[in-house]
Amino acid sequence: MSYLVAGRVPVPELQPDIERLRRLVEDLERIRRGDNPSAAQLAKAPILDCWEMAQRPDLCLTGVVNGHPILKDDKQIHTSTLWVISPVLGYARTFSRLYRLGSPFADPSLH
């Protein structure tokens, strides 16, 4: 889910995702420690039959990055999943990090 923030105002719509992410982090911390789901927890979980791995596209940003802690400057990238974008305030928050928004793409064929 991505959220468009139109100004410096509260965004209560984020609360359900915040709670889901907290639960995910708690589970990941337990698994990291070797505390995997118990038989009782698995018995309460929904069952997924005929399952297989799949991919789905998530909304992200693409552009030329500068000042990234890992990637080289002037590199064309795709960000991780976009969570919040506020062009008005000049930022985007992806799953991995905060980005300062520079100028948007301008398609010369549209002029």
- Which H or E run contains 78? strand 75-78
Q: What is the mean pLDDT of residues 3-27?
A: 95
Average pLDDT of span 13-31? 95
Q: What is the DSSP letter of 13?
A: G
Q: Can you tell me the mean pLDDT for 3-17?
A: 95
User: pTM higher than 0.85, yes or no?
Assistant: no
The per-residue DSSP string of 40-65 comes to HHHHHSPP--S-----------EEEE
Domain ranges of the chain: 54-101
Mean pLDDT confidence for 94-101 = 94
Beta bridge partners of 92: 85, 99
| Close Cβ partners of 5 (under 8 Å, ≥ 6 residues apart) | 11, 84, 85, 86, 88, 89
Q: What is the pLDDT of residue 109?
A: 76
Mean pLDDT of the chain: 92
Quick: pLDDT tens for 39-90. 999 999 889 899 998 888 999 999 999 999 999 999 999 999 999 999 999 9
